[in-house]
Structure 1
Amino acid sequence: MKKHLKQSDYKSMPWKNGLGTTVELAVCVHEMGVEDGPFLWRISIASVSEDGAFSHFPNIDRNLTILQGRGMVLEVAGFDDLRLDQPLQSVCFSGEADVVARLHDGPITDFNVMVDRRFAEARVETFSLDDEVSLILSADDSYFLHVPETSTAIMLSGDEADVQIDGGESYLFEGIEQHISVRSLTSTSASLILVKVTFSPSS
């Protein structure tokens, strides 16, 4: 399955702790029989306008990438602070942890990847597309490509027709083995976030 996701496809929903909202870009729910997890994986974008505590997500590993703003510090109980100082910088932490966000200077927008570690793991890579980037997709994994809203458009080329992905849009590949390439559509370097979800053998 593959799907071009536009901003009209996303869903706005309240934060688990009730202190704000997030825009859900894509979600994969658990199969029947898993009742103690809200999802297998979820990808979203959130705006943080003030300091505050993060929601708790048991069994979930989280990856957070800055999209816009001057950054923030995440105070993680029992661990060193995690600093985010520039766009496309990422950090990882446990969903069970007590985490408090301290903004550097004004609101930020971040890209969130959450995955149930009991069944899968997620890897997040960011690219500045000065040159064409080639990617080999495995049918065993899921891949989510996101072009930040502030980026110029990219062209995705694969086994079928080329697809233009504008800023703020995404593309999802599931169960497809394919060799694709991505490049900026202008002389300006485009940005790309790639999420690869690898499933555990038992999942």
Structure 2
Amino acid sequence: MSRMKVLGPKDYQRMPWKNGQGMTTEIARFPADGFGRFQWRVSIADVVSAGAFSAFTGYDRLIACIEGEGMTLTVDGGPPEAVAREAQPFFFSGDAAVTCDLIGGPTRDFNLIVDRARMGGDMIRLRGGENWAGGADDTIVLVYALRGSVQVHTGDAETRLTEDNTARIDGEAVAVTVGPGAEALISVVTVQDTAEDDGEV
């Protein structure tokens, strides 16, 4: 039996940033109940002005621009790092003090956040005509269709994602094919520790 589940906008949750300076659309998280400290989360943030990012102590973060010209991030006072529309995902520590400046107006970004003591994380951007294969017993793979048609295959299931829909696959191999003119963001969460969740964010 397939462990693939398709999520759409009706399943997503809209919420303010931790620091109250923006809004996030949460696509999926674990645990899913929304209480206490999550082990991983995939979301989309609307960034409409320059300012500080929320702190996520103990987490690692990956971020990719999906709409607008993007932004520059200053991490712990270091040199500005461009997170532009065509760039690959950018990694930084949730412990860091991060501020952003918009390159050319409001932007949206796609985010993966993982509790580094329990999970590893990776994010891959695929464009039209590109393929990807991965997934294993200890992974959760989330395939987000940013635009166009995205085919997702597992051992015994197949689905065609359309824009703003997500396939979640737990613990099995996945193959992704991105159609012409399409684009997808793939988040891969690798389980490192299955101890029970505690604490709060």
Is this a same-fold pair by TM over 0.5? yes
Aligned to 2:198: none
Counterpart code for 2:187: V
Offset of residue 40 of structure 1: 0.3
Offset of residue 201 of structure 1: 5.0
Q: Specify whether residues 202 and 47 from structure 1 end up closer, same or farther in structure 2 by C-alpha distance, changes over 3 A only.
A: closer
Offset of residue 161 of structure 1: 4.4
In structure 1, distance between residues paired with 2:20 and 2:6? 30
Report % sequence identity: 30
Aligned to 1:163: 159
**8 Å Cα contact 2:65-2:87 kept in structure 1:** yes
Q: TM-score, structure 1 length as denominator?
A: 0.86
Q: Specify whether residues 161 and 62 from structure 1 end up closer, same or farther in structure 2 by C-alpha distance, changes over 3 A only.
A: closer
In structure 1, distance between residues paired with 2:154 and 2:144? 16
**8 Å Cα contact 2:65-2:109 kept in structure 1:** yes
Aligned to 2:59: 60
In structure 1, distance between residues paired with 2:115 and 2:13? 21
Counterpart code for 2:183: S
In structure 1, distance between residues paired with 2:176 and 2:21? 39
Stretches of 4+ moved more than 6 A in 1? none
Identify the range of structure 1 (63-72 vs 151-160) with the bigger mean alpha-carbon deviation.
151-160
Aligned to 2:190: 198
Query: Is 2:136 aligned against 1:138?
Result: yes
Q: Which of 143, 148, 152 is the matching residue for 2:148?
A: 152
Offset of residue 189 of structure 1: 2.5
Q: TM-score, structure 2 length as denominator?
A: 0.87
In structure 2, distance between residues paired with 1:112 and 1:68? 13
RMSD, aligned CA: 2.1
Give the length in aligned residue pairs.
Answer: 192
In structure 2, distance between residues paired with 1:137 and 1:38? 25
1:138-174 Cα offsets, whole Å, 9 max, x none, are 12111111111xx112222333343110011110011
User: Equivalent residue of 1:198, what SS?
Assistant: strand
Offset of residue 109 of structure 1: 0.4
Query: Is 2:173 aligned against 1:178?
Result: yes
In structure 2, distance between residues paired with 1:183 and 1:89? 16
Offset of residue 2 of structure 1: 2.0
**8 Å Cα contact 1:159-1:180 kept in structure 2:** no
Aligned to 2:16: 14
In structure 1, distance between residues paired with 2:75 and 2:126? 27
Offset of residue 13 of structure 1: 0.9
Q: How does 1:97-116 map to 2 (within 5 A)?
A: 97-116=96-115
Identify the range of structure 1 (161-170 vs 66-75) with the bigger mean alpha-carbon deviation.
161-170
Query: Is 2:49 aligned against 1:50?
Result: yes
Offset of residue 81 of structure 1: 2.0
* Stretches of structure 2 lacking an aligned partner (at least 5 in a row): 196-201
**8 Å Cα contact 2:127-2:178 kept in structure 1:** no
Aligned to 1:189: 181
Counterpart code for 1:145: V
User: Equivalent residue of 1:182, what SS?
Assistant: strand
Counterpart code for 1:138: A
In structure 2, distance between residues paired with 1:90 and 1:79? 18
Offset of residue 180 of structure 1: 2.9
Offset of residue 108 of structure 1: 0.4
